[in-house]
Structure 1
Amino acid sequence: MTAALKWLSLLMGYACVAIGIFHIALGIDGIPDMGSDGATADSQTRFFGAIFLGYGLVWLRAARRDPVDTTAIRWLAGIFALGAFGRAVSIAVHGWPHWFQLVLTAIEVALPPVWFWLAAAEDRRTRTGPAAVPGGALPTH
């Protein structure tokens, strides 16, 4: 489980860094069905690209810790899930987006439970001593 958590978290980190750089470099021209007009939309896209790049760097930091920083992984996965919630609100308000956004939404719904599960497994694996036993004490007989 440790390898899977580390691998999936590193993959997420590198993907977010790459996506962030992509959005900073291309702005709204890099987003399907966004059009190529509007300084405000372009500014917003590049700003969120920088935020996404930073988000990816935090994923990388959490994944490279020994042991993996499961608390950070849970927070990052929760934030990722909030992205899916935001997309759902957008669908409710404005209707269906470009198909690629639906693929991203599916990923944002599917992956957070996997990270939560892997983080819980990692916590169980690394827990030692009395705190690992329900009730806080080891049996003495």
Structure 2
Amino acid sequence: MVKALKFLSYLMGVSIVLIGIYHLTLGQWSVPGAGPTTATIDSRERFYSAIFLGYGLAWIWAARQSPIPALAIRALAGIFLLGGIGRVLSLPVAGWPHWMQIAEAVIELLLPLLFFWLADADEKAASGDDARETPLTARRLPA
């Protein structure tokens, strides 16, 4: 579980940084199905993209800690979940978005649950309390 936490946290960070760079670079044109809008929307898109890029760097920072801090993982996953909840709140107000954003919403609502579950794996392993991870890792065959 520790390897999964490290890998997924790092992958999450790198993915978010790349998405942030993509949106920061393309502005309004990076939004699927949006087409040309206004300078205000383009400016806002690029601003939020820079913050999203920083959010990805926070994931990478957390993944590089030893042990990976469970509190940081839970906080970062909670922010991601909040984004998915924001998309759900948008449905009755604005209707269904582009299919790509529906897929993103599903990921934003489900992936945090995996991170909440894995969050303390590295801290447990570092403290020697990793025997509870699975029955297979708790039992060792004699050599």
In the TM superposition, what are the counterparts of 1:1-141 in structure 2 within 5 Å? Answer: 1-128=1-128
Distance 2:74 2:126 in 1: 16
Question: Is the CA contact 2:74–2:115 (under 8 Å) kept in the aligned structure 1?
Answer: yes
TM-score, normalised relative to structure 1: 0.87
| Residues 88-115 of structure 1, C-alpha deviations (whole Å, 9 max, x = no match) | 1111211100000000000001100100
Question: Is the CA contact 2:25–2:46 (under 8 Å) kept in the aligned structure 1?
Answer: yes
Distance 1:37 1:102 in 2: 21
Q: Which amino acid aligns with 2:79?
A: I
Distance 2:121 2:70 in 1: 10
Structure 1: state its 5+ residue gaps.
130-141
Q: After TM superposition, which residue ranges in structure 1, 4 or more long, deviate above 6 angstroms? A: none
Deviation at 1:121, TM superposition (A): 3.3
Distance 1:123 1:67 in 2: 5
Question: Is the CA contact 2:15–2:56 (under 8 Å) kept in the aligned structure 1?
Answer: yes
TM-score, normalised relative to structure 2: 0.86
CA RMSD for the aligned pairs? 1.3
Q: Secondary structure at the match of 1:88?
A: helix
* Structure 1, 116-125 or 77-86: larger mean CA deviation: 116-125
**What is the percent sequence identity of the aligned residues?**
51
Deviation at 1:60, TM superposition (A): 0.2
Deviation at 1:126, TM superposition (A): 2.9
Deviation at 1:128, TM superposition (A): 4.8
Question: How many pairs does the alignment contain?
Answer: 129
